Amino acid sequence: MKVLIVDDEQEALNSHKRILKREGITDIDLCNLGLAAQEKILENNYDIVLLDLMMPDIDGLKILETTKPHKSNTEFIMITAVDDLQTAVKSVKMGAYDYLIKPVEPERLLLVINRAFERKGLLTSLYQSSANGQENSVNPVFSSIITKSSKIINLFHFTEVMANSGNPIMITGESGTGKELFARAIHNLWVNKGPFIPVNVASVPESLFESQFFGHTKGAFTGANNSHVGYFRQANNGTLFLDEIGDLPLNQQAKLLRVLEDKLVYPIGENRALPINVKIISATNIDINNACKQGKFRLDLLYRLKSAHIHLPNLNERPEDIPLLANHFLEIFKLKYNKPNLKISPEAIEVLTRRNYPGNIREFSQVIENTVILSNRNIILPTNLGGDTISEISATDFNLKTLKENSEEHVIRVLAHTNGDKKAAAEILGLSLRQVQRKISEMKDNSRLREMID
């Protein structure tokens, strides 16, 4: 993140710079003159400009008016000692992201900066995904995420932009939506290629928190028969993924915050602090903002962890991915259970698409695995999926046709699925090859069938 701070008071410049540096933002320029700031903004590509309203040579609104049209990708945050609603409204209409009143609390300043940067990333990603018809151009680091959903593809572009900052990223979403897959993709986007260390925070006992995260020396406490490096130092020059961060107890949150602020760890039994260089990704399936309101999660820790926020949709919000995922998991489990000829019928795909998956992709994968295990034929039909498959097939699919018409329609769909292969169709239909051939002969006047077999 590249930031320009514009203020005629040196104390304010230094104060804001210190706050940003503690957050890990180091690419910072300072300017105490309005005209000089105007030139800097036009000559550089700043992500964020903190702009004082009252400058001696030219006021902040004038700077905003002359530079924003040329720097649409730069977010301006106005800062002033004057609490004037009319001026605030005017600055926002002219393109400012927000309007802050001095003195600004550090937490408030960081929150606004991070939100402005997140908005910039979102707008940039949306532009990139639509420019030159590149909607489906996806970075290879996301190849492990099976999708054709526009929601997910837009998230790919947004994630790529936000990862460029190197700032901490928080991923939210229901269990089973793929948060760790996104975390690994972000790690691969970052320049430093150190290790990726995933930690389920909720699984670490409170009594072992410091030992597990910060490390300990041999003999530091009873039972410490060997030294332990700790998760932070294991992830040095790489990425530490803090999964289920919302379940971290309050007293441990303070210890984690100190390490993130100081970039130092204090191993148990060690008489000195050890520096760390670790990028942080966190994830949670709870409403973290609500947890802060309830006093269950520290707001200052949230500011540290949530420089950028990625929210993953649940599986029911991306039904177009169900066929892709079904075939993806089918290939995996066919190999695992040595059933190389197993296929899935279009009707089974329809049933899977209509179902609800509270456990999301994790649950969906289990459904496919169980189906493969229990399958005793070479085709998966709706009846193999369990549940009330009859009620899951819409009556409108048949358009209230006669039984004969529906029978013919079903044969056509199966033949379409097998690309006209009568032998494969016979296996799916539970008929002999001769019976299928006779059925086709009886349907010779059906135009759709003729197009298929010609």
Determine the straight-line distance between the first and last CA of the chain, rounded to whole angstroms. 62
Tokens of 243: 């999964």
Which residue has tokens 């720097």? Answer: 71
Q: How many CB atoms lie within 10 A of CB 270?
A: 15
The Cα-based distances of 250 to 166, 256, 361 in angstroms read 26, 10, 31
| Residue 160: predicted pLDDT | 85
Q: Which residues contact 149 (CB under 8 A, 6 or more apart)?
A: 313, 318, 320, 321
| Residue 392: predicted pLDDT | 46
Q: Contact at 8 Å (CB) between 310 and 165?
A: no
CATH 1.10.8.60 range(s) for the chain read: 316-393
pTM for the structure as a whole: 0.65
| Residue 393: predicted pLDDT | 47
pLDDT under 70: residue ranges of the chain: 122-136, 191-192, 387-406, 416-417, 419, 444-454
| Residue 116: predicted pLDDT | 87
Q: How many CB atoms lie within 10 A of CB 199?
A: 19
Q: What strand order describes the sheet that includes 279-284?
A: 196-200, 239-243, 279-284, 169-172, 308-311
| Residue 192: predicted pLDDT | 66
Helix, strand, or coil (residue 131): helix
SS (H, E, C) 90-104: HHHHCCCCEEEECCC
**CATH tag for 316-393 (out of 1.20.140.10, 1.10.8.60, 1.10.357.10, 2.40.180.10):** 1.10.8.60
Which of 307, 304, 208, 211 lies closest to 262 in space, CA to CA? 304
- 257-299 confidence digits (pLDDT tens): 999 988 999 999 888 899 999 999 999 999 998 999 999 999 9
Write out the CATH class of domain 396-453. Answer: mainly alpha
CATH 3.40.50.2300 range(s) for the chain read: 2-104
Distance (Å, whole) CA 333 – CA 238: 33
| Residue 383: predicted pLDDT | 82
For domain 2-104, give the CATH number.
3.40.50.2300
Cis before 103? omega within 30: yes
| Residue 444: predicted pLDDT | 67
* CATH fold label, 127-312: Rossmann fold (3.40.50)
DSSP states along 305-354: H-SEEEEPPPGGG-GGGHHHHHHHHHHHHHHHTT-TT-EE-HHHHHHHHH
